[in-house]
């Protein structure tokens, strides 16, 4: 049923792979691109109906890509996804034709929900078994912390600064958390 093609455009290979898996298991036929050119080529070739686009593509700006993709596939639904969200870019994205805008971290169900939201063209019983279960706040916080921590090469002081929280507080959070790592949870 679900021959719904979905193009993921993200220069973060790890993230793209994880998301691809998660969405694949939810009934999408996923292809991924890691830069704008690749994205254009794949879009031309596969005419995907859905697209998950990272705002920050290397030095390129994902926003520019939105109209291009829509020119290639008029009915494409573009979901912007970014770790550096802001209201200004969200406004821009929607103005340029994005269907929705989410900030990382997200869970795959939220992505699916956003993609299918308002979509009438699918007999979407197949795709939507996505139970509406947003991340609990705690987990969202934890994942975000981990993301930034990694970005800071484990530097706690720097991470705390970027997160706008006290170093001591970060320390305490990190120390009391059950350090379970599951790099490929798609849930």
Partner DNA sequence: CGCCCCTGTGGCTATCTGCCGCAGTTTTCA
Partner DNA sequence: TGAAAACTGCGGCAGATAGCCACAGGGGCG
Interface residues with DNA (CB under 7 A) are 154-158, 165-169, 171-173, 175-176
87 binds, among its own copies, DNA, none (CB under 5 to 8 A by kind): its own copies
Cβ at position 99, least distance to its own copies in Å: 8
Toward its own copies, which CB reaches closer, 18 or 140?
140
Total Cβ atoms within 10 A of residue 41: 11
156 binds, among its own copies, DNA, none (CB under 5 to 8 A by kind): DNA
Dihedral sign, Cα of residue 70, residue 72, residue 77, residue 79: negative
What does the alpha-carbon distance between residue 157 and residue 64 come to, in Å, rounded to a whole number? 35
By CB under 8 A, name the binding residues for its own copies.
55-56, 61, 63-64, 67, 82-92, 94-96, 100-103, 113, 121-122, 124, 127-141, 143-145, 147-148, 151, 162-165, 179, 181, 183
- Contacts of residue 102, defined as CB under 8 A and 6 or more positions apart, other chains included, come to 79, 80, 81, 82, 85, 110, 111, 114
């Amino acid at each position: 049923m679900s021959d719904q093609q979905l193009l993921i455009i993200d220069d973060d290979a790890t993230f793209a792979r994880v998301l691809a898996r998660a969405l694949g298991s939810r009934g999408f036929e996923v292809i991924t691109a890691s830069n704008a050119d690749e994205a254009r080529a794949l879009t031309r070739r596969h005419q995907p109906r859905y697209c998950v686009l990272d705002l920050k593509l290397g030095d390129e700006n994902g926003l520019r890509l939105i109209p291009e993709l829509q020119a290639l596939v008029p009915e494409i639904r573009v979901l912007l996804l970014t770790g550096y969200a802001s209201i200004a870019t969200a406004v821009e994205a929607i103005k340029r034709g994005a269907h929705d805008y989410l900030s990382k971290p997200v869970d795959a169900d939220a992505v699916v929900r956003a993609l299918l939201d308002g979509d009438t063209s699918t007999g979407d019983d197949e795709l939507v078994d996505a139970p509406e279960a947003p991340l609990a706040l705690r987990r969202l916080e934890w994942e975000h912390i981990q993301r930034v921590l990694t970005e800071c090469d484990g530097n706690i002081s720097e991470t705390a600064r970027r997160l706008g929280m006290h170093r001591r507080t970060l320390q305490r959070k990190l120390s009391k958390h059950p350090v379970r790592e599951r790099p490929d949870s798609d849930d």
